[in-house]
Amino acid sequence: MTTSVETPRRRGLFYGWYIAIAGATNNALILGVTVFGFGVFIEPVRKDLGWSLAALTIGFSIRSFQSGLLAPFVGLLLEWIGPRRMSIVGVFVVAGGLLFMAQMHALWEFYVSSMVVALGQSMGGVTPFSTTIVRWFRRSRGRAMGVLFSGNALGYGMAPVMAFFIVHYGWRVALVVAASAIVLVGTPLAFVIRPRPEDHGLLPDGDLAPSEAAAPGTALEESGMTVAETVRTPAFYLLMLAMTVGAPTQSALIVFQVPVLEHAGYSAGVAALLAAGYGLVQAPVRLVVGGIADRIGRRRAYAWCFLLQAAGLVVFASMDSSRVWLVPLFYGTYALGHALFTTLFLTTVADYFGTRRFASLQGIIQFAGMPVGLALPIVTGVVFDRTGTYSTIFLVYAALASLGAVFVFLIRRPTWHEFSSALTAAPPAAAAAAAAGD
C-alpha cells in the first residue's frame, strides 16, 4: 500500500474559504452592533431615560463578565449541538436581547437585556465559525483565521451606521433595525457552516482524500486530545498564561485609547478619528499577517506578536501631540502585534492539541483571562486618578505583554500534526502515551 508524494487538491475555490468569508461577515455585523457600535447608544439612552453614566457602564461590565464566564459552557454546548445550530440559536438570542432592549424603561431591563445579548454574542459570534475553520484548515489555518477576524475589524464601521439611525429615527428604532439585520443576514450565513471537510470527501486545506492509506493520520489529526489529557500538559498552561497577559492589555488600550490621546494633547475629534483609523487598519493587516504566520511558523509569529505589542505600548505611553511621528510608529508596532495575536491566539490551541475538543479548550483559556481583563481597565483608571498620567501604567502593561513571548518560547511540545504524522503507524497505546506527554 503506497501513498502519493504530492497531495491531491480539488480545483476551484476551497469551500473552507466560503466559511471564513461568511464568518467575517457575521462577525462584522454581530460584533459591530453589540461591541464596536454599542457606545453610540450611551448618550442618547442616558439623556432619554435619565440614567447615570456609571449605571450604564455597569451593564457593559456585566456583559464582559458574562461572556468570559460562559466561555467554557458555550464550548461544551457547541460540541453537543454542533457549530451551525449554535450559530443559528445565537443569532436569534442576540436579536431577542436587542428587541428587549429597544422596549426598556427600567434599569433592570437594561441589565437583563445586556445579559441576553452577551449570551447570544457568545453563541452566534466568533466561536462557531472559528471552531469550524480549525477543522477545515491546517497549513493555511493562520490565513483563514486572518480572513475571519478581519470581520471583527470591519465591525468598527458599524458605529457610524448605528449613529445614522439614532440621529434620524431614535435609539429604539436603531435597535430594532439592528436586530432585524442580524436575523436576516446572520441566519443564512450560519447555513454556510459545514462541520468538517471529511464529510465532503476532502481533507483540511482542500486536499482530496486519496486512499485508505491516509485515513489513520486523518483520524488522529481530527480527534486531537481530550480536555483531561490537555490539562496535564505544561504547554496548555503556558498558552493560558500568554493569553492572560496578552488580551487584557488590549482591553485596557481599547477602553482608554481616546482618553490617552486627548491627554496627550489631541482634540477629541482627532483622537476619535485616530482610534477609528486604528480599527479600520486592522482589517487589511489581519488578512495579510495570517498568511505570513503560516509561512514563517505560527508559534514564532505568536511569540513575536507579544514583543510587537510591548514595543507599541511603550510608544503609546510616550504619545504627545508634538510628536506626531509616534502615531505611525504605534500603528506599525502595536497594530501589527494586535493583528497577529487576534489571528493566532485560537489557532495555536488547535495547532498543539488538535480539533477534537477545540471549543472547550479555547473556552477554558478565555475564561482564565477574564479576571485580569476586567481588572486592568479599573486599575488604569485608579492609577491615572492618583498620578495624573497614563504613561506609568502603560509601561507596566508593556512589560506584562512581553511576558507573553516568554511563555510561548517556553513551549517545547510538538504540534498535534507532528504527533499525528509521526504516530500514524504507531500502536494506539504508544500514540496515546506520547500525545499525553510534553
Whether the Cβ atoms of residue 49 and residue 103 lie closer than 8 Å to each other: no
Task: Indicate whether 255 pLDDT > 80.
Answer: no
Domain boundaries along the sequence of the chain: 15-206, 219-422
Cα 359 to Cα 46: distance, rounded to the nearest angstrom: 38
Q: In this structure, what are the phi and psi dihedrals at residue 307, rounded to the nearest 5 degrees?
A: -65, -40
CATH architecture assignment, domain 15-206? Up-down Bundle (1.20)
Q: What is the DSSP string of 50-85?
A: ---HHHHHHHHHHHHHHHHHHHHHHHHHHHHH-HHH
Closest CA to 19 of 133, 117, 115, 99: 133
Cα 159 to Cα 277: distance, rounded to the nearest angstrom: 13
pLDDT at 25: 94
- High-pLDDT (> 70) share of the chain, %: 85
Task: Indicate whether 326 pLDDT > 60.
Answer: yes
Closest CA to 119 of 97, 88, 101, 148: 97
Mean pLDDT of 423-430: 55
Cα separations in angstroms, 255 against 261, 267, 349, 377, 387 = 12, 17, 27, 7, 19
Over residues 359-413, the pLDDT tens digits come to: 788 888 877 777 777 777 777 777 887 888 888 888 999 999 999 999 999 998 8
Closest CA to 150 of 24, 276, 33: 24
Three-state SS string over 339-403 comes to HHHHHHCCHHHHHHHCCCCHHHHHHHHHHHHHHHHHHHHHHHHHHHHHHCCCHHHHHHHHHHHHH
pLDDT at 215: 43
Higher local confidence (pLDDT), 10 or 122: 122
Mean pLDDT of 318-340: 88
Whether the Cβ atoms of residue 95 and residue 175 lie closer than 8 Å to each other: no
Cα 401 to Cα 254: distance, rounded to the nearest angstrom: 15
Alpha helices in 103-157 (DSSP H): 107-124, 126-136, 141-154
Over residues 148-180, the pLDDT tens digits come to: 988 888 887 787 788 888 888 998 999 999 999
Name the least confident of 132-136, 205-209, 237-241, 293-297. Answer: 205-209
Burial class (CB in 10 A: 0-12, 13-18, 19+), 429: exposed
pLDDT-derived band at 218, boundaries 50, 70, 90: very low
Whether the Cβ atoms of residue 248 and residue 375 lie closer than 8 Å to each other: yes
pLDDT at 375: 77
Q: What is the DSSP string of 127-140?
A: HHHHHHHHHH-STT
Positive or negative CA dihedral for 133, 138, 144, 149?
A: positive
pLDDT at 198: 80
Which H or E run includes 334?
none
First vs last C-alpha separation in the chain: 32
Apex 311 CA angle, 307 and 313, nearest 5: 115
Mean pLDDT of 333-351: 87
Task: Indicate whether 248 pLDDT > 80.
Answer: no
Mean pLDDT of 329-350: 88
Looking at the DSSP assignment, which residues form a beta bridge with residue 117? none
Higher local confidence (pLDDT), 421 or 305: 305
Mean pLDDT of 110-138: 87
- In eight-state DSSP terms, residue 325 is T
Whether the Cβ atoms of residue 304 and residue 289 lie closer than 8 Å to each other: no
Task: Indicate whether 119 pLDDT > 70.
Answer: yes
Q: Please provide the CATH number assigned to the domain covering 219-422.
A: 1.20.1250.20
pLDDT at 9: 55
pLDDT at 221: 45
Look at the block and give the residue holding cell 450560519.
Answer: 190
Task: Indicate whether 1 pLDDT > 50.
Answer: no
Residues 6+ positions from 250 with CB-CB distance below 8 Å: 309, 338, 341
Over residues 264-292, the pLDDT tens digits come to: 888 866 777 787 777 778 888 888 888 88
Closest CA to 193 of 353, 354, 81, 30: 81
pLDDT at 434: 52
Mean pLDDT of 236-257: 83
pLDDT at 206: 78
pLDDT at 158: 81
